[in-house]
Structure 1
Amino acid sequence: MLTARIRGILSNGTLLGSVSTLAVKACGSALAFIMFALAARQMNPDAFGQLAVVFNTLSFIAIAMNFGQEVLIARSWGEYAGTSPSLARGALQFGARIVLYGATLSSLAVVLYWFLSGSAPGPWFAASAGLFLFAQTLTTFTSRLSLVVSGVALAEIPREFLWRTTVIVAILVIAGTGASFTATEFFLVSGAILLVSVFGQWLRIRQVIPAAVREAEPQFERDLWRRRSSRMWPSALLDSSSQYLEVVVVGFILGPAAAAFYFAATRITNAFAMIASGLTTYATRHISLLFHNDSTAELQSMLRSLAIVSLLLSGAIVGVIVVAGKLLLSFYGAPYVDIYPVLVILTLGGLLTGLAGPAPHLLLLTGHERLYPVVMTTALILRMSSIALLGTLFGLTGAAIAGAAATALTAGALVVACRRFIRIDPSVLSLFQQKALAELAQPGEGPNLAKSERA
């Protein structure tokens, strides 16, 4: 029975779309692995750990300075593009202006802080870090806008390929000349190429936006959009906190070398997050549209199709890490091989992230912005406090156990929330509970309940 079910899932069009998206994400993750591995080989663990901490801190600030607009534009475009071109154009301008202001102010603040505090390695480091933050903030918004307006290629190729490939080439060229490659060069090259990518995305977006939207006089529902983004903003911060703040906390508790080792391990287990991100990237274009058009059965069918892809790929990744984990760590340098047990521990937590599917965005894009922060705030407090406690007591292994356990609990809580409040299961469990899900989804209740929450 399960075999027949899998054959049916594999024969539909969702597979092709999701696998294509995942292929782009997989190539991007491979390039990120190569980029950071090459950078680690040019530095000692302390220096690479400092780069990792600053990189994660700036990436988190970039999410913060979007003020939830990267999520809001996905929802607004799905609601307005086909029915109200004026509001669609207004939503685009509303989000773009806020993000531009946030990028400018935050990058200037970071540069001034490092100049005035004297804590930066040098003035060029402060300037390059500010440039990276400015570009990363814009990229976060333009990539999501590109996704809903044009598709995966425009959204992901500049960020996943162009940026990382350019940095890889820069490392090889600088290393080939005998010069040292430091964090300053990393942020300078990254910031410059990301700005080029943003410019190219905007040019293409202007070409592919529907003529009705492009020629419409913009209309604004500022109060509504402010209320929505005020709930989506903390949700976006909480969603990215586990990705970026763990390394920062480990560096603060155990020092930069430990942060380097933890960061290297998470770059490998990031393959599971890549699966979740790839599925989310594909699903984001459809969740809001299907849900708000009362097509919940079709939405559940799509998510079930994505779940089989997640199951197959997650199983393969576990096998690769168990068999070749030490080899992968050795690309960062000989000292990193010793943290293989930490890598295995983090793998267990990452596995459940991949199997949970696009649960976070399913909540965010279906009118449950109030619920998502409650779940994620609780998870964040648990995650960071347990990492600090177990890291202090048991070192890097303790921090990994805490991080993996918190990741597993968070994934489970998000799936339970989706089942209870949306009556849709985005996880791999949906493959085995079709009858139960059909009984759970009462016609007319899910979408209409969310739509009644206009704010």
Structure 2
Amino acid sequence: MIKSSFLRQSIIALVVKTSAAGLSFAMFLALARALPSDAFGQMGFAFSLATLLSVVGSFGQRALVLKYASIHTADGNNAALGGVLMFGYQRILLGGVALCLALAAWVLLTGSNARYLMWAGPLALALSLAEFQAHFLRAYDTMIAALVPRDIIWRLAVIASAGALIWTNSTDASAALALAIMTLSLLFIAAVQLAHQKTMRSLLRAPLPVPDSMARLWHRTSLGLWGVSMVKSAGPNLAVVMLGVILTPAETGPFFSALRVSMVLSLFLMAANMAGASGIARSFAQTDQSGLQHICTSAARAIALPTIAGFILIALLGKPVLRLFGEGFDAAYVPLLILSAGYLISALSGPTALVMETTGHERPYFRILTRITCLFLALMPLAIYVGGITGAAAMLAGNMIATQLLCYRYILRELHIAPGILSRRPHAAAYD
């Protein structure tokens, strides 16, 4: 029963995420067609900034609520369940409002002409709330209720709004208008999602007291989860932010489009992580080395073919796909290939991050991730000055590949398994 339930939810998640990947492409394509090229570059810069700020302002509450809501749901501890929900909402709202005020103050006090950036704060708050609610609902295995509002309905709403701008041939289309549409529609959808969840409303309406020791545990745990999530989010989003600061919006837009197209290749690894997470954790707990190796090899081989096929399609059709976003966007074809190669090598390396996070090696993973990300981000400005968007793509792909290979090496040495497409020979550990 548990196995069939997990399989069903994995299939639902895969279908939703696959649909979301297509809709994400369509959403940014529609916005690119609705906005002038400079405005689209500004929107891409602000969206990446908002995505990064949503991670900063959520203080690790997404992963925290997914972890502890699952635990407290299983043991029937409604006091703790309501407590961790309220704990998360309070910190997300506090952090989100603080970021909104800080960003607005910076724009106003510096006299910046980039007034559209004032929408990055509210959009960050909307993203934080929507993701937090989705993570909480996943604890109940309600994948449809958790994922569909943000991943499907919100994107459809933005596509419809962009379509209206295209149809009316609006001359008022701007980055600020696009960001306002994205923000307000997401806040409305998150509010409707909360209104339809009786359990969440009842837990928030009459929260029960929780021990101080439990609140302190949540605080300590959330700090660690916050650090990992910020470093993970820093690479792609800070690359776009740095480009927006150093180059013009017209140059940032094509890179943002190339990044979004290449991210489609990460879908297959994400699906494998969803399907293999419990099996990897269970095999490790049972010290089933062969079972752990089998799951990793099967996952890597399952995603290898579609990821390679996707890379070939991008190589063949990359230029016309980029032209759909706007005239001259095919200038990002080489960066698109570089970014896609990074995602391809990451996929062939297998679920390295998942293995380290589910086998008690979170801290070594965090150290590897932090050191490599900081190194490549430090080199990013120089790479942009020297190579433009191609230099930025090279740094971002290098960050992905180096992190994956170092994690691969760590797993090979410490766990004696190969998480990639080539399985480890049973006697290989003797030669370490």
Once residues 40 and 126 of structure 2 are traced to their aligned partners in structure 1, the CA distance between those partners, rounded to angstroms, is 22
Partner of 2:377: 384
Say yes or no: does 1:62 pair with 2:64: no
Contact conserved, 1:52 with 1:260, CA < 8 A, in 2?
Answer: yes
Say yes or no: does 1:325 pair with 2:318: yes
Say yes or no: does 1:24 pair with 2:19: no
Once residues 138 and 91 of structure 2 are traced to their aligned partners in structure 1, the CA distance between those partners, rounded to angstroms, is 19
- Relative to 1, partners in 2 of residues 1:69 and 1:325: Cα closer, same or farther, differing over 3 Å? same
Once residues 230 and 375 of structure 2 are traced to their aligned partners in structure 1, the CA distance between those partners, rounded to angstroms, is 16
Contact conserved, 1:15 with 1:305, CA < 8 A, in 2?
Answer: no
Once residues 289 and 137 of structure 1 are traced to their aligned partners in structure 2, the CA distance between those partners, rounded to angstroms, is 28
Cα distance, 1:349 vs. partner? 0.7
Partner of 1:407: 400
What's the CA shift string for 1:321-355, capped at 9, x where partnerless?
Answer: 12211121111123012332221122111112333
- Relative to 1, partners in 2 of residues 1:288 and 1:317: Cα closer, same or farther, differing over 3 Å? closer
How do 1:5-154 and structure 2 match up within 5 A? Answer: 18-83=10-75, 85=77, 86-122=79-115, 125=116, 128-154=119-145
Once residues 226 and 132 of structure 1 are traced to their aligned partners in structure 2, the CA distance between those partners, rounded to angstroms, is 25
Contact conserved, 1:147 with 1:281, CA < 8 A, in 2?
Answer: no
Once residues 288 and 76 of structure 1 are traced to their aligned partners in structure 2, the CA distance between those partners, rounded to angstroms, is 20
How do 1:271-282 and structure 2 match up within 5 A? Answer: 271-282=264-275
Q: SS state of the match for residue 426, structure 2?
A: helix
TM-score (ref. length: structure 1) = 0.81
Greater mean alpha carbon deviation, residues 363-372 or residues 384-393: 363-372
- Relative to 1, partners in 2 of residues 1:152 and 1:280: Cα closer, same or farther, differing over 3 Å? farther
Alpha-carbon RMSD across the aligned residues, in angstroms, is: 3.3
Q: SS state of the match for residue 334, structure 1?
A: coil
Aligned counterpart in structure 2 of residue 201 of structure 1, from 186, 193, 210 = 193
Q: Which amino acid aligns with 2:56?
A: A
Aligned counterpart in structure 2 of residue 173 of structure 1, from 164, 183, 187 = 164
Aligned counterpart in structure 1 of residue 240 of structure 2, from 240, 243, 247 = 247
Cα distance, 1:356 vs. partner? 4.1
Contact conserved, 1:31 with 1:161, CA < 8 A, in 2?
Answer: yes
What's the CA shift string for 1:201-222, capped at 9, x where partnerless?
Answer: 33455448999xx997645512
Work out the percentage of aligned pairs sharing the same amino acid.
25
Cα distance, 1:277 vs. partner? 3.3
Say yes or no: does 1:344 pair with 2:337: yes
How do 1:220-259 and structure 2 match up within 5 A? Answer: 221-259=214-252
What's the CA shift string for 1:92-113, capped at 9, x where partnerless?
Answer: 3322322222222222322333
Contact conserved, 2:46 with 2:117, CA < 8 A, in 1?
Answer: no
Contact conserved, 1:89 with 1:219, CA < 8 A, in 2?
Answer: no
Say yes or no: does 1:355 pair with 2:348: yes
Contact conserved, 1:386 with 1:399, CA < 8 A, in 2?
Answer: no
Once residues 125 and 368 of structure 2 are traced to their aligned partners in structure 1, the CA distance between those partners, rounded to angstroms, is 30
How do 1:204-215 and structure 2 match up within 5 A? Answer: 204-207=196-199
Contact conserved, 2:383 with 2:395, CA < 8 A, in 1?
Answer: yes
Cα distance, 1:265 vs. partner? 0.7
Once residues 202 and 246 of structure 1 are traced to their aligned partners in structure 2, the CA distance between those partners, rounded to angstroms, is 34
Q: SS state of the match for residue 428, structure 1?
A: coil
What's the CA shift string for 1:282-338, capped at 9, x where partnerless?
Answer: 556x37974796576666655544333322321221121122111211111230123
Q: Which amino acid aligns with 2:144?
A: A
Cα distance, 1:60 vs. partner? 0.2
Residues matched between the structures, number: 421
Cα distance, 1:164 vs. partner? 1.1
TM-score (ref. length: structure 2) = 0.85
Once residues 393 and 83 of structure 2 are traced to their aligned partners in structure 1, the CA distance between those partners, rounded to angstroms, is 45
Q: SS state of the match for residue 119, structure 1?
A: coil
Partner of 2:148: 157
Cα distance, 1:190 vs. partner? 1.2
Q: Which amino acid aligns with 1:189?
A: I
Contact conserved, 1:59 with 1:244, CA < 8 A, in 2?
Answer: yes
